[in-house]
Amino acid sequence: MKLTKDVVEHIYSGLLGKVIGVQLGSPIEGMWYNRIKNTYGEITNYLFNYDFYAADDDINGPLLFLRGLEDGGHGKNMTAQDVGDALLNYAPYEHGFFWWGGYGISTEHTAYLNLRAGVKAGESGSVELNGSTVAEQIGGQIFIDTWGLVTPGEPDLAAKLAAKAASVTHGGNGIYGGVFIASCVSYAFVEKDVRKIIEKGLSYIPADCEYARVVRDVIKFHDEHPDDWRACYLYVRENWGYEKYPGNCHIIPNTAVIILSLLYGGGDYSRTVCICNMCGWDTDCNAGNVGAIMGVVCGIDGIDDKWVKPVNDLIVCSGVVGKYNITDAASSALYIAHLAAELTGEKLPEPYGALYEADPYACSFELPKSTQAINVLCAEKDEEVTFDKKRYGEGEVPPKPRYSLSNSAETAFDGERSLKVKVKYPRDGERVFVFKRTYYHPSDFSDSRYDPSFSPVAYPGQTVKAGAYIPADTYSVSAAPFYYDERNGKFGFGEKVTLKAGEWNSFELNIPKIKAGLIRCVGVCFDVANPEKKRKDFVCHIDALSIVGNANYTIDFSKEKREYWAWKHVEVSQFTRLKGLLYLADGQLNLSGPDFAEAYTGDADWKDYSCSFALTPVAGKEHFVNVRVQGAMRSYAVGFDGGEFCIKKNLNGYKKLIGTKVKWSEGLEYRIDIKVKGNTISAKLDGEHEISFTDEKSPLLRGSVGVSNFNGSHTLYREITIK
């Protein structure tokens, strides 16, 4: 299928459809039909209004496992090991990401530990190794939708890739479920009849497998009773219900619910996801799967705004690469479309090709209905402003916002669309901040199940760019780009410009080098004069909001904070932890672990840079810092290995590249300076001992920074400087 502009937009609607389904189902995940019916009756809308929705396994897996396609570099010949390596690379060790229920209990946990122990991907999730109960739980299909989105209109290829991907963590019906869902998503790009989509999915799995039997059984019941989905649910529960299958969340009962909702939904997105949730069981997983299929079938215009607007495009993940944990549906869809083009050797259609080439993370708003997680804050003149979410006590009702956001084709700075902001009856001197959050705290979120942690997506040294516009001379308006440095509680504003109606203005603002800064948000601030107290809406547009250029900053650990997600989950601000004990004490970062410990910060897309680390060995013999970090299994490490100062490479396991003998002592602080340029890594210890290595074999040419140690070591880090 040719990758057209329309196809890219259906990739977006499919991904957004999944995100909506997950958020709709999350509050009642694990509930059964009767309890949902008695508590909520007919579901027609979200059951909970999230401030921001934190990470979920149903989103982590689809977005981050898909990166194995790019990392592995095998294209259409992708292997199971490519996806297995992605699991090891992007999932933190036994926290966040998905349910870590224990070996032999949680399917994904079991497969992860198998892979860690050296079991080959494909065997790692098999029935032969793990038994059918573990292998045939639901994960084989809940992480799989993106393999259909990345192969639009190519269900043969979707089935092939999905079989490889699902085999990493699952076996038997777990794999069949992955193949079925991915091929249905793919086929939905060319076929809008849901019954035909289901039949196509069935054509890729054995006709006599249990998965196929339950699908056929539900189809048969629907044909005989086409108007009563509740009767169908009772039939499903009696014949294919949870009680008949072992394990925590078996794939077969939930598959029956997916087919039921697809058939009885009548081709309507809203009706389909609502029926799916009213059936109960694994509601967020099931609604996520049908949401992806129906999102492609219906397109963005077929997804009601009541579902789209509360999500605001925001996607939060809880992988170990902090930058990838703050994203949005539009940017993620563009990445998936880019991978789809790579698979077929095509170019992304315009305008998406040029947008991706220029800056894949920019807020361009070119995808219809996209808002890319932009927020608005209205403040009185001289009012002290922060960007924390206000919490309300029990019984308090938060005020309705005076503003609205919408994607608009009325005007654009670049391309065809922009983001339209409307504020009701502005006050004289009111400031309207239109901004992107570039860092999140636990207090921002309404939930905390797959607790994420973050690296910022904007840094001192970088430049904020944006376009701003007002359509009419209703008010006298001036505007300026801004950033907010949370650590120091200070705003930075660019040059203020008086806006003329009907004319776009281009803004740029350099964020200066800030010691111990943390950029919380960037955007455009509009100052509105309304001395006559006009009762008319203020309207503005923004477009092409991007963060470009190189970082230049210092992390001072005396200024960093503990991030409390739950009593048993405390992280360190700006860091994502792979494994080990990571905490702040006496103004320093502490890292320790019995076998290995690692944590990362910064931008995974940094290329050439220099960095400096102040570290103190406390106990043990292996103390390191990391550069070019692309995840848990892809980085370089520089530091002490016994009596050597050395460089190691981690490409699915650390190997020493070069070293020189040095003397060092516990309790003394050392400075390690590193420069990475192209495929050469150069390092100095206290400005004296220098080592360098040019990596000619599969060099890592981008990545963030980190800290690590091994074999029962404890290390202190006082500061990190990146330039």
Residue 383's pLDDT band (cuts 50, 70, 90)? confident
3-state secondary structure of 484: strand
- Dihedral sign for Cα 194, 196, 199, 204, please: negative
Cβ 155 vs Cβ 188: under 8 Å: no
CA distance 468 to 523: 10
CATH class of residue range 5-337: mainly alpha
Categorize the per-residue pLDDT at 390 as very low, low, confident or very high, splitting at 50, 70 and 90.
low
Give 460-477 as a 3 state SS string: CCCEEEEEEECCCCCCEE
- Measured in degrees and rounded to the nearest 5, phi and psi for residue 129 equal -90, -45
Mean pLDDT of 281-302: 98
Which CATH superfamily includes the segment(s) 373-388+398-549? Galactose-binding domain-like (2.60.120.260)
Nearest Cα to Cα of residue 485 among 526, 466, 513: 513
Residue type, 90: Y
Question: Per 3-state DSSP, what percentage of the chain is helix, strand, and coil (rounded to 5)?
Answer: 35, 30, 40
Binned at pLDDT 50, 70 and 90, residue 392 comes out as low
Q: How far apart are CA 671 and CA 611, in angstroms?
A: 10
Six-digit token pair at 713?
A: 């070591």
Q: Calculate mean pLDDT across residues 367-390.
A: 90
- Answer yes or no: same fold for 5-337 and 575-722: no
Residue 397: pLDDT band with limits 50, 70, 90? low
Please write the tens of the pLDDT for every residue from 230-264.
Answer: 999 999 999 999 999 999 999 999 999 999 999 99
* pLDDT for residue 191 is more than 70: yes
Question: Given pLDDT bands bounded at 50, 70 and 90, which one contains residue 282?
Answer: very high
Residue 207 has pLDDT above 80, yes or no: yes
- Are residues 571 and 448 in contact, defined by beta-carbon separation less than 8 angstroms? no
- Name the residue ranges covered by the structural domains of the chain: 5-337, 373-388+398-549, 575-722
The two three-digit tokens of residue 348, written as one number: 């992304």
For residue 180, pLDDT over 70 is answered with yes
- C-alpha 82/C-alpha 91 separation (Å) is 14
pLDDT beyond 80 at 700? yes
- The percentage of the chain sitting over the pLDDT mark of 70, rounded to a whole number, equals 99
Maximum alpha-carbon separation in the chain: 82
Whole-angstrom distance between the N-terminal and C-terminal Cα of the chain?
44
Q: Which CATH class is domain 575-722?
A: mainly beta
Q: Give the pLDDT band (50/70/90) at residue 569.
A: confident
The candidate with the shortest Cα–Cα distance to 462, out of 297, 358, 640, 606, is: 606
- 568 pLDDT higher than 80: no
**What is residue 387's predicted lDDT score, i.e. its pLDDT?**
86
**pLDDT in the model for residue 391:** 62
Hey, what amino acid is at 631? G
Residue-wise pLDDT for 15-72, tens only, equals 999 999 999 999 999 999 999 999 999 999 999 999 899 999 999 999 999 999 999 9
DSSP 36-48: HHHHH-S--S-SS
How far is the C-alpha of 547 from the C-alpha of 511, rounded, in Å? 10
Residue 395 has pLDDT above 70, yes or no: no
Structure tokens at 490: 């200070």
Q: Which residues contact 404 (CB under 8 A, 6 or more apart)?
A: 421, 422
Q: What mean pLDDT, rounded, does the chain reach?
A: 96
Given this model, what pLDDT does residue 399 score? Answer: 74
Strands 497-498, 634-641: pairing kind: unpaired
627 in Cβ contact with 617 (< 8 Å): no
Residue 498 has pLDDT above 70, yes or no: yes
Q: Give the three-class secondary structure for 140.
A: helix
The per-residue DSSP string of 283-331 comes to HHHHHHHHHHHHHHHHTGGGS-HHHHHHHTTEEE---SSGGGGEEEHHH
**How far is 365 from 375, CA to CA, in rounded Å?**
14
Q: Tell me, what's the pLDDT at 382?
A: 79
Residues 6 or more apart from 86 whose CB is under 8 A from it?
64, 65, 66, 67, 68, 71, 72
The pair phi, psi for residue 458, each rounded to 5°, is -140, 145
Provide the b/e sequence for 234-262 (b: ≥16 CB within 10 Å).
Answer: ebbbeebbbeebebbbbbbbbbbbbbbbb
Segment 218-226 shows an average pLDDT of: 98
Measured in whole angstroms, the distance separating CA 448 from the mean position of its chain's CA atoms is 15
Q: Which residues sit opposite 623 in a β-bridge?
A: 640, 709
- Per the CB < 8 A criterion, the answer to whether 182 and 148 are in contact is yes
Predicted confidence band at 394 (pLDDT cuts at 50, 70, 90)?
Answer: low
Decide if pLDDT at 153 tops 90: yes
